[in-house]
Amino acid sequence: MAAGSKTFTTPRRDCSEGADQAAVHERNRALVARAIRRPLADVVLVGVTDHPDGASVNLEYGWS
């Protein structure tokens, strides 16, 4: 997986336990797939890191 990546900054509450995490990831994956004109199956979650503001997380999606 080295062709590219896109990072979304998302409120931490949207990725916390009890939140609809699947919906957040599907929305982000669909946005990336549309932008790079690739099938949705090519876009995967690569990593989650803390955002410096403390109230958000960075969700990184990649494709090959």
Whole-number Cα distances in Å, 52 to 35, 42, 64: 26, 29, 28
- CA proximity to 44, closest of 59, 29, 27: 29
Rounded Cα distance, 16 and 64, in Å: 28
**pLDDT tens digits, residue range 24-44?**
999 999 999 999 999 999 999
Instruction: Record the pTM.
Output: 0.84
pLDDT at 15: 85
